[in-house]
Amino acid sequence: MPPTTPPIIVDERSNGMIVGIDLGTTNSLVAVMQAGKPILLPNRLGQTLTPSAVSVDENATVLVGAPALARRTTHPLSTATAFKRDMGTTREYQLGKLSFTPQQLSAFVLRSLKQDAESALGIPVTEVVVTVPAYFDESQRRATRDAAEIAGLRAERIINEPTAAAMAYGIHERHREFKAAVIDLGGGTFDVTILEIMEGVIEIQSTAGDSRLGGEDFVAALTEYVADQSGLTGLQSEPILWARLQVAVEQTKRRLSSVPSDRVVLSNFPGPGQSFERIVTRAEAETVFAGLVSRMRTPILRALRDARLRPEDVDEVLLVGGATRMPLVANLATEIFGRLPSRELPPDEAIALGAAVQGALKARDKAVDDVVVTDVAPFSMGIATASETGRRMLHGIFSPIIERGTVIPVSREQSFSTISDRQKVLAIEVYQGEHSLCRDNKKLGAFNVTDLPPRPAGECEVRVRFTYDLNGLLEVEATVADTGAKKSIVLEQTPGRLSEKEIAQARQRMAELKFDPRDSLPNKTTLARAEALHVELTGDARDMLRDYLLRFRAAIESQSTPDIDAAREELNAFMAALSRPRDGLN
């Protein structure tokens, strides 16, 4: 039976509300403020976690969520996961005969969550707060907003995931005063944020992270280790076999959070009649993960340094993100801060709950009228300049205009001058990062300031203003001091950024695609999971599963709802019995 959800009460006069969405690398959730508290909304399966997965079946029908995820071992070339990691890039995913950008794939997930919210609330949902990793750059944030627009949603705010988590904690602890470190290890990204909560005021003091480090990397490292240790080199050239091994290793990694050792077991692997089995211990896995854990330490220490705090100054350590269930994350936090971390809220849920709080703030909900949140810029942002040193002109020097850790929203201005006599054009190249040379930072965009008044070198002044808003979006404006002429950009042409025409085209394409009817989702999900399990089984268990599958398919063809529901429950119960976690091996 699906989990029960508190009843949703909606003001009949309301035409909509601002919901919060955690658009995750592995799973996504939607939440809303209800009776002064944030609650999660269930999907069509009665679950709060919707896998961030998209698959295309043989009929070119798009599957989203659980049925898509279940197909990743049987149809890996037609299934996409972890596409959030490519937001803000020009990569395309080929799924069968169809191709999609990361924004389009994310839009499918957002569309599914929008429909779930509308079903739960009984009203249209058009406004949303979407969370992103704190270390998402400007192009990734804009790509996230594009995805929302494609899905028919207006992203009222784009907020950092640790900030959202802090809001979820802060709404319960609004009358306390304490400093906290939020450690957020999700499926694809890692963030750490230092904040202070003071009687409803949540003040972000610093943030740091790694946008290419997450639970997926731990799975990949352990999969490669198991393959190497088992003589399965070259298996990556076999997509189905590699996908099956990855899923089995991922399940073992999760079980190792609660048991000292576990078996990776696969039947008919790599060929019919063959099987694969390997014992992996938690100690063994943690040795494999040592390099990844080391990468987590650096942002934690940087965030403390930027906040001008010592580890002992932090009162609480909050763990957020499903990957923080690994004991090594808690061990690292305890080692650095000298205290056990808190898991007051389920790590998978805190971010979505906080996004709902932000939605309530945006909607001026009286339940949060005493909550105030400040945030900071996660990166330094500036322009490329040149400097004469020892009769040599050095180009490509990074000159920050907004330093990381600056409270946002913010607008800062600096003056620059020409380097040549009678210079007519000044190139403004915008970068973000912390390195002294632009080539080591990320370029966000560029534009030219033309028709400069003819002046000797150094005497034509141009003022450059950076304006960075609460959504993490940057506007750059250049003003010629002598003439007052201005030119500005909102960095519309960053990689992966879609124009209004492209967004409209993506919406039209979505409207033309075939999506599985929502009523068929429970059946499609059960069938996909059963097919994936059938591949792994042998002998009597496989024969019994096949019998349950045949009865379920026959019930579907009969179109008798009671028969379908009964057969689906029987099949799910049988699969649950087969898939119960095994005890650890000592």
Q: Are 516 and 63 in contact (CB under 8 A)?
A: yes
Structure tokens at 389: 């040193």
Q: How far apart are alpha carbons 402 and 414 in whole angstroms?
A: 10
Structure tokens at 329: 């994350």
To 10 degrees, what angle do helices 290-306 and 327-337 make? 40
Q: How far apart are alpha carbons 397 and 404 in whole angstroms?
A: 17
Q: How far apart are alpha carbons 453 and 456 in whole angstroms?
A: 10
The phi, psi pair for 489, rounded to 5°, reads: -140, 155
Is residue 184 flagged as an active site residue? Answer: yes
Residue of 84, 114, 253, 524 with catalytic role: 84
Q: What share of the chain is helix, strand, coil (3-state, %, to 5)?
A: 40, 30, 35
Residue of 127, 146, 149, 161 with catalytic role: 161
Q: Does residue 495 have a cis bond before it (omega within 30 degrees)? A: no
Structure tokens at 473: 């979006």
Residue of 127, 138, 149, 184 with catalytic role: 184
Structure tokens at 100: 């999609």
Is residue 86 flagged as an active site residue? Answer: no
The answer for residues whose C-beta is within 8 angstroms of residue 133's C-beta and 6 or more apart is: 160, 161, 184, 186, 189, 190, 191, 209, 211
Q: How far apart are alpha carbons 217 and 190 in whole angstroms?
A: 11
Q: Are 116 and 30 in contact (CB under 8 A)?
A: yes
The enclosing H or E element of 412 equals strand 410-417
3-state DSSP assignment of residue 196: strand
Is residue 563 flagged as an active site residue? Answer: no
| Nearest residue to 201 (alpha-carbon basis) of 409, 22, 375 | 375
List beta partners, residue 62. 56, 515
- The DSSP-derived string for 523-578 is HHHHHHHHHHHHHH--HHHHHHHHHHHHHHHHHHHHT-HHHHHHHHHHHHHHHHHH
List beta partners, residue 265. 277
- The DSSP-derived string for 488-527 is EE--TTSTTPPPHHHHHHHHHHHHHSEE--GGGHHHHHHH
Residue of 22, 86, 316, 349 with catalytic role: 22
- The DSSP-derived string for 451-472 is ------TT-SEEEEEEEE-TTS
The enclosing H or E element of 100 equals strand 98-100
At 200, which amino acid appears? G
Instruction: Report the 3 state secondary structure along 14-78.
Output: CCCCEEEEECCCCEEEEEEEECCEEEECCCCCCCCCEECEEEECCCCEEEECHHHHHCCCCCHHH
Q: How far apart are alpha carbons 258 and 208 in whole angstroms?
A: 29
The enclosing H or E element of 7 equals none
Strand order in the sheet with 486-489: 410-417, 461-468, 474-480, 486-489
Write out the catalytic residue numbers: 22, 84, 161, 184
